[in-house]
Amino acid sequence: MKNRRLPVIYVLIMALMMITVQFQTNDVKALNSFPIRMGKKDLQPGENHIFGGTVTYEPQNNSVIIENVKMDDQSNGLYVSSNITDVNNDDPIKIYLKGENYFGTEDKPLGFTKSGIYASRSIEIIADDDAKLICYIGGRGGIGIYGGPDVNVSVTGGTYVFHDLSKNDTDVFNVASGLIDIDHADITMDSVNNNMNGAGISINHSSITASSTSNGIYSKSYVHLLNSTLNMKNKYVNCWAADGNMMIQNTTFTGESTDDLGLYSQAGSILISNASNIDLTSGLNSGIRAAGNVSVDNSAISIEALKGNSILSKLLNVAGENTTIQAASKKAMQADNIFVHSCKLLKSSVTADSALKGNEITISGGTIEAITTSIENSAANASAIYAEKNIVLEGINTNVKAQAKQQYGIFSNGGTISLLARSIEAIGGSNYPAIVARESSADAGAAHSKNIIIGENYTVGNNLVVSTIWQASGSNWYADSFLAPAGTAAEVNDYSQSITALDAGMLADYAEIDAIIKRIPATKDLKMYTDESVTALLNKKDSLIRGKRIDFQDELDQFADDLQILLDALEYKPADFSKIDAILKKVGDLSGYTNESRAKFLALMNRLDRSMNITQQKQVDELAKSLEKAYADLIKITDNLDPSDTGGLQNNKRPDTSDHTQRIIWIIMLVISAACMLGIQKKQHVMRYHDES
């Protein structure tokens, strides 16, 4: 009797053999030790001249060198099994790229389930700067670079282009449970499925251009984007870290997601720093979303989220003088806690929610603009800046603008609002108050605190804080604190007297001006100065306007400089020389006085200084007394005055000062003539005596 089971056994054996052959043919799993394979060809140690190029296989170095290859047999471009003959299976295989290489062509792309590089063990791809690898993926399930379980893939240098011709369920760069490390590489890829998929992804000094009808970059843990440029256009998430943090440093990231998020950290935080530049457009969801924190430091972010939040996280932390965040979205820029330490500009424009929204909001530096723009803002939390608890606006470099279309400019639903910033412009929409701090209590008497805090050196204009107490139907009592014109009662019935547009801020510093004013002489002392210089100084002082905001500090500093110049320019009045002038008028011509008395008077006159001012009046008056005495001592020249006389008075008479010069000359000439006559007579007498003898 024949064994009826034998045909069944034969069939099973044949099926098992076919399956084994199929596994080996498709290179899905190596059952034995295999060499490295390019296309359908096993690589032999040394040079392999195949596919129009050269492939050098060096088992002793765990390396393959690929140069100018054009693989077109529709199999895997390069297959690296988990267990390879004659290599160190504990180390990765190094793949060196040189020249221009093709895995698949446009006419003959990689076949069904075939990949450009299929690695069942870790690989390192190292390319020359000008080297290229171009892959044409044609079959369903094909992948540009694939790494199996626990396989790490690193790419250093070179240019990579992955074309997905199948348009059907293709990952370009898929390392299922290993790490992807890309450094100094230029990668372009398009696919139907994820562009890049790994257990952890690090991209450094590289350029990535990618598009897909799924996610762009997906990591099971972390994503690090450093010193790189990425342009992502995807249907779903541009960059997704599922169970780790996302770090972006000195990187330009442009992302467009038609149906989902831009940047997403599902369980961790997102850090954007070191002059990164992020430009995101999200069609149906948020621009940036993190389960943990979003931190931005000295970077620029632009977000357009037409249906979602611009930023949504547990904590939003903004710092850096060069940081700019400009967001336009349907929903708020929102976090449980928002801290803005410094920034160049943070601007949030929202169409159907608050512009800036959190549990606690603290802004201590930078320029903040929160604007709601649509009449969709009908919900109770549609204020420009909204917090469930406290809002603190503080800092000499903090400028805040909050403008609502439908509700409050700034609103705290259960805390305080501290106005301690350089400048605050708050505008409520539809006649709502500019600023409201609300407190609730089951007891009407307990709900009455004025929860708007105005700093000591802060001005809210000619306004004060008032409150209105009200009760919702069958609910708690509420006390709303807001600003109203000075003179309004402390408690009012409604918002009718509220300030709907508030322009407030820190007071300017008048200390320098006050110090100069303190140095201005008292009124009685100002009489010593010229009317012109005093008038100019006092007019400038009186033109000072007190209570200006710190925005006008430069103007006030200039005022202080000008006031100091006028103070320094105060000019003393000249001394009174009238007594001296009267003496000089009496003296007239000094030529009729003796030399000695005239010299004394002139010596005093030489001490006269017409530039002497009123502070030297005593010296001028003393000189006048001395001149008066010298004038009294002037001695005129007289006729009976002995020429040798020093000019003293004789017989209590003033000396004759007439001119006797001609008379004296005549007397002298007479004396000389008489002497001459006597001499002549004597000579004649002697001559006669000699003649007679």
User: Beta-strand (E) ranges in 413-548?
Assistant: 417-427, 435-441, 452-454, 458-459, 463-471, 477-485, 491-492, 501-506
Per-residue pLDDT tens over the stretch 215-227: 999 999 999 999 9
The amino acid present at 554, given as its one-letter code, is D
What is the distance between the alpha carbons of residues 436 and 459, in angstroms, rounded to a whole number?
17
pLDDT at site 674: 64
Question: Using 50, 70 and 90 to split pLDDT, how confident is the model at 176?
Answer: low
pLDDT at site 122: 94
pTM for the model: 0.77
Buried b (16+ CB within 10 A) or exposed e, 283-320: eebbbbbbebbbbbbbbbbbbbbeebbbbbbebbbbbb
pLDDT of 63 over the 90 cut:
yes
Token reading at 504? 């407030």
Question: Using 50, 70 and 90 to split pLDDT, how confident is the model at 290?
Answer: very high
Token reading at 306? 């037409």
Mean pLDDT of the chain: 86
Report, as an integer, the average pLDDT of 452-474: 88
Token reading at 667? 């007397």
Report, as an integer, the average pLDDT of 167-187: 79
Report, as an integer, the average pLDDT of 69-80: 94
pLDDT at site 643: 44
User: Beta-strand (E) ranges in 463-561?
Assistant: 463-471, 477-485, 491-492, 501-506
Residue 203 makes CB contacts below 8 A (sequence gap 6+) with: 182, 224, 225, 226, 228, 230
pLDDT of 644 over the 90 cut:
no
Residue 393 makes CB contacts below 8 A (sequence gap 6+) with: 363, 400, 410, 417, 418, 419, 420, 421, 424
pLDDT at site 137: 87
The helix/strand/coil state of 151 is coil
What is the distance between the alpha carbons of residues 221 and 267, in angstroms, rounded to a whole number?
9
pLDDT of 212 over the 70 cut:
yes
Per-residue pLDDT tens over the stretch 158-173: 999 998 887 665 566 7
Q: Can you list the alpha helix ranges (DSSP code H) found in 368-426?
A: none
Question: Using 50, 70 and 90 to split pLDDT, how confident is the model at 454?
Answer: very high
Report, as an integer, the average pLDDT of 130-154: 88
pLDDT of 9 over the 70 cut:
no
pLDDT at site 76: 93
Per-residue pLDDT tens over the stretch 374-420: 665 455 558 999 999 999 999 999 999 999 998 999 999 999 999 99
pLDDT at site 680: 56
pLDDT at site 381: 59
Question: Using 50, 70 and 90 to split pLDDT, how confident is the model at 449?
Answer: low
Report, as an integer, the average pLDDT of 41-68: 96
pLDDT at site 31: 37
Per-residue pLDDT tens over the stretch 292-301: 999 999 999 9
pLDDT at site 140: 73
288: closest CA among 305, 275, 276, 274? 305
Token reading at 383? 């204020």
Of residues 391 and 673, more confidently modeled: 391
Token reading at 512? 């320098």
Token reading at 8? 């069944």
Per-residue pLDDT tens over the stretch 82-131: 888 888 988 999 999 999 999 999 999 998 889 899 999 999 999 999 99
CATH level 2 (architecture), domain 511-568: Up-down Bundle (1.20)
Show me where the domains of the chain are located.
Answer: 32-214, 511-568
What percentage of the chain exceeds 90 in pLDDT?
64
The whole-angstrom distance between residue 282's C-alpha and the CA centroid of its chain comes to: 27
Neighbours of 432 (CB within 10 A): 22
Of residues 163 and 27, more confidently modeled: 163
Q: Which residues pair with 183 in a beta bridge?
A: 156, 204
**57-61, 133-137, 564-568, 678-682: least confident range:** 678-682
Question: Using 50, 70 and 90 to split pLDDT, how confident is the model at 33?
Answer: low
Burial classification of residue 396, based on how many CB atoms lie within 10 Å of its CB (0-12 exposed, 13-18 middle, 19 or more buried)? middle
